[in-house]
A and B are shown apart, each in its own frame.
Chain A
Amino acid sequence: MKFFCVVEMLFLIAIIVTSFISKKYVTGRFRYLFAVPLLITIIMFIRYGFIMSYLGVYISSILIITGLFTDKEILKRSIASFCTLAIFISLFIGSFIGVKMIDYEADFEEAFAVMKEHYVLSKEKGIDWDALYEEYKPLFEKVNETQDSVENYKTWMKFAKEFYDGHTNYILKKTDDQIKIMMEAYGNDYGLSLARLSTGEFVAINVEGYDNSYSIESEDADLMGFYRYKNKYLDKDAEDNKDIIKNAGIKNGTVITKWNGKPIDDYFDEVTYYINPYPVRENEEFYLPMYVAGIGADCEYGNCDGEYAIVSFLDENGVEKEVKLESLGSYMPRLYDSISKIDSGLNITNLSWENVNEDTMILRVRAMAYDSASYADPSQYTEMTDQLRKEVVSLKENGYKNLIIDLRANEGGDPFFVQNVAGLFAPEGEHVNLYSTVINEKTATFERNEDGRYPVKEALTYEGEDLWHDGKIILLVNAECVSAGDDMTYIMGEYPNVRVIGFTSTSLRYPMLMQTERWL
């Protein structure tokens, strides 16, 4: 925006200059300079829309046209000078007020109204819309006054969390602001993340200074793009302080007993928003410790200028010790790295195989989609199913007994993909995948019965081929196995030769799904 204003000022200065030389170089083309500011203003409208603090720029671009109605050079110079000054003042005002006032409150009102009208699980999740509005309206009013984009993000994430629905989330547009906001929303980096073991103990993970751990010196690219910005958020003494944690004897797996003098789970109620939604309470509790690791001493979650954290841990002899860990910068890159490491699946192409040992193969299913033709028309899955069938039969003939289907970080997708894959392993006979429900086509809403439930319309069925009836199948899942990934876990988890294992259950973003209980 400022670039365009500067260009416009340059053209106005050019008008002043040409007014001096126009008598010597007589040409009518200098007149076109008077039209250029208006054209630049139009481009600014196309790109940015109307911004009140730049009103001076808009008026200047119209006012300069009056210079064309006089032949007196001194008058032209005066008008151009006045317009240049008006643009300069606008730039000055714009620097203080900010490029654009965003109506955060209006955004909330609009989104809330849409959600209240269209959210399909209000009854099932016991959503009290009036109570939600009363609680969040004042928060968004405050955000609107302060124009704090980070607080806006946090408030929206808290609001989305109220639904415990993996398909209800607040997603920032992919801009530089997105990264800035996330870097500032999750606290400070004290050189480690935390995880809870099944024994109930909390341990350090992703500890600074160790192989396979995230490091502040890392230049590896991450999918979100934090690596491009992390140096801007590094603490000035980070280089000196990064070895404190390793020198204290904390490594990956060290038991952490207290955080800032408190038990770690005492912080759980403070963590009111996350990067990803966790509809299942068990999954939420699994990830909570990771978020706690960004809270400094005398700090609140997400509002932390805390320069340090006091960490109590058990050394190699089981003796409890304490260390003061200085802030290294923003916690976001380490947090994202920790979550990504736990949530990742096998990094191979969708529907490809990898050998585990002489009798076990792993099939990676990272998304429930094959190609655009099959996504549009379920009858087009024949090619995929035929290929997969051939591969499975070949494995059987080659003596493999065990299959692992890696559904970790499965993005979900098409339920027809799910049943075409699941059908190869299902017991023979007809099985039901899903039921469709009744839609009011005019209002594009789901209809409810008189008892308030969604009626069942048609069953989506598939035939089982039981290709692996003599062998074992393991479904490998985690909290990022979502949507249609939940679907596959649910229907395959019911087969007699299938077990479901993982750090956590799936995301359970399939709203009506009942969780399978077949855990290893």
Chain B
Amino acid sequence: MKNLIKSIIYETMRSKLLIIFYLVMVAVMILLGALNACDYTTSGLYIQDQSITYIFPLTVTALVVGIVICPDLKDKVANYEILSGHSRISVYLARVLCAIIPAAFLSYFLTFLPMISGILFWGWGDRLDLTDVLLRQALFIFPFIRLAAFTCVLAFMIKSEYAMIAIGVAYSFGTLFLSGIFEEASSSVFVSVYNFSYLMGFDRWTIYNISPESGIIRYASATGSISSEMIVSTITASMLMTLVYVVLGYALFRRNEMN
């Protein structure tokens, strides 16, 4: 399995699609922070638009998983690995590990870029406590791992990296759409895309004042303290569901016709 992992890593790191797309996303995330925090400072931006940190990285998760898994299924590299004596489980696990870990961590890294660029240009501000926000964002890794595991199941079924990109886009925009429609369910930790909005859901309060020149001016404050329930539920739900998805993926792969 070590050799399988090495070969997958070698192949993935030479994927032009992944490198270009990821660099574009890095630029987008930096600009999001730099251009949007000017009106509010960075902490104000987090209150105004809580999804800014995770919406686009969701697409990257699906992209990385698609690039790692799908080409080798289509061009029968995985088939040859099995024929050359590797067990199905090692072929499967090698791909899943090489998909989940980079997908989760590459996406996870992107979520911090708006904060970094916002602080560099405009400062953090005093609307939220930085420690609280960092703790919430630190927990992002768990739903990203879970989402990557779920995407692996889809990748083994669909076998097309371009379809996986489309699924990634659906993750991003579907999240906003579904959270708006199903408000009651949208704080559930059992759905990974909702878990992000749950972690970034600060308790907010807004009021307005009237200025003769500017008209109605709105003010918002928020508290970012995190509860132990949030931490435990995020970690537990994510680890449990990751295990389920990995098992499901292998169960489907086990008798998959590879030729």
Interface residues of A (CB under 8 A from B): 28, 31-32, 34-35, 38, 42, 45-50, 62, 65-66, 68-69, 114, 118, 375-378, 414-416, 434, 436-437, 439, 441-446, 458-461
B252 near A45 with CB under 8 A, answer no
Given the complex of chains A and B, what is the CA–CA distance between A505 and B248 in angstroms? 67
Interface centre among A42, A68, A114, A439 (most CB of B within 10 A): A68
- Give the distance to chain A from B6, nearest Cβ to Cβ, in Å: 29
Whole-angstrom CA separation of A327 from B15 in the bound complex: 76
Q: A251 CA to B84 CA in the complex, in Å?
A: 95
Which residue on A lies nearest to B174, using beta carbons? A46
Residues in B whose Cβ lies below 8 Å from that of A443: 221
Point out which of A35, A42, A375, A461 has the most chain B C-beta atoms below 10 A from its C-beta: A35
In the bound complex, CA of A35 to CA of B153 (Å): 9
> Which of B197-255 touch A at CB < 8 Å?
205-207, 209-212, 214-216, 219-221, 244, 247-248, 251-252, 254-255
Is the pair A45, B219 in contact by a Cβ cutoff of 8 Å? no
Given A118, A414, A441, A459, which contacts B216 in the complex, CB threshold below 8 Å?
A414
Known interface pairs A35-B153, A68-B254. Does A48 touch B185 (Cβ–Cβ under 8 Å)?
Answer: yes
B106 CB to closest chain A CB (Å) equals 24
The proximity string for B residues 108-137 relative to A, scoring 1 for CB distances below 8 Å and 0 otherwise, is 000000000000000000110000000000
| Given A69-B251, A439-B209: 19 more A-B contacts, CB < 8 Å | A28-B255, A32-B157, A35-B157, A35-B248, A38-B248, A45-B188, A46-B194, A48-B184, A48-B185, A49-B187, A62-B244, A68-B254, A68-B255, A434-B210, A439-B207, A439-B219, A444-B206, A444-B221, A446-B207
- The answer to whether B212 touches A458 (Cβ under 8 A) is yes
What are the residues of chain B within 8 A of A377 when measuring CB–CB?
215
A46 touching B182, Cβ below 8 Å: yes
In the assembly, what is the distance between CA of A35 and CA of B212, in Å? 61
Q: Is the CB of B191 within 8 A of A69?
A: no
B49 at the interface (CB under 8 A from A): no
| Cross-chain contact A416 with B215 (CB below 8 angstroms) | yes
The interface of chain B, by Cβ under 8 A from chain A, is 126-127, 153, 157, 178, 182, 184-185, 187-188, 190-191, 194, 205-207, 209-212, 214-216, 219-221, 244, 247-248, 251-252, 254-257
Q: B252's contact among A31, A118, A375, A437, by CB below 8 Å, is which?
A: A31
A–B Cβ pairs within 8 angstroms, 6 of them? A46-B182, A66-B251, A69-B254, A376-B215, A442-B127, A445-B205
A residues within 8 A CB of B211? 436, 458
Contacting pair B182 A444 (CB below 8 A): no
B190 near A49: Cβ-Cβ < 8 Å: yes
CB-contact partner of B209 in A35, A50, A436, under 8 A: A436
A65-B247 in contact given A49-B185, A442-B126 (Cβ < 8 Å): yes
Determine the distance from Cα of A32 to Cα of B156 in the docked complex, in whole angstroms.
Answer: 11
Cα A65 to Cα B241 with chains together (Å): 13
Given A28-B256, A28-B257, A68-B254, answer yes or no on A47-B247 (Cβ-Cβ < 8 Å).
no
Q: How far is the CA of A442 from the CA of B215 in the complex (A)?
A: 20
Say how far B240's CB is from chain A's closest CB, in angstroms: 9
Instruction: Give the most central of B182, B187, B209: most A CB within 10 Å.
Output: B209
* Complex: chain B residue closest to A461, CB-CB: B212
Q: B85 to chain A: closest CB distance in Å?
A: 22
Chain B residues within an 8 Å CB radius of A459: 212
Of residues B153, B210, B216, B220, which shows the largest number of chain A Cβ atoms within 10 Å of its Cβ? Answer: B210
Decide if B221 touches A460 in the complex (CB within 8 Å).
no
Closest B residue to A110 by beta carbon equals B203
Q: How far is the CB of A63 from chain B (nearest CB, A)?
A: 11
Instruction: Give the CA-CA distance A45 to B182 in the complex, in Å.
Output: 10
Inside 8 A of B157's CB, which chain A residues have their CB? 32, 35
Nearest CB of chain A from residue B188's CB, rounded to whole Å: 4
Contact B188 A378, beta carbon cutoff 8 Å: no
Least CB distance from B123 to A in Å reads: 14
Give the docked Cα–Cα distance between A42 and B257 (Å). 27
Q: How far apart are B250's CB and chain A's nearest CB, in angstroms?
A: 9
Q: Are B251 and A50 in contact (CB under 8 A)?
A: no
Pick the contact of B251: A65, A375, A376, A444 (CB < 8 A).
A65
Residues of A within 8 A of B207 (CB): 439, 444-446
Do B184 and A49 touch (CB < 8 A)?
yes
Q: Name which of B205, B212, B257 has the most chain A CB atoms within 10 A of its CB.
A: B212
* Closest-CB distance, B181 to chain A (whole angstroms): 9
How many angstroms between the C-alpha atoms of A445 and B221 in the bound complex? Answer: 9
Instruction: Give chain A residues whose Cβ lies under 8 Å from the Cβ of B244.
Output: 38, 62, 65
Least Cβ–Cβ distance between B129 and chain A, in angstroms: 12
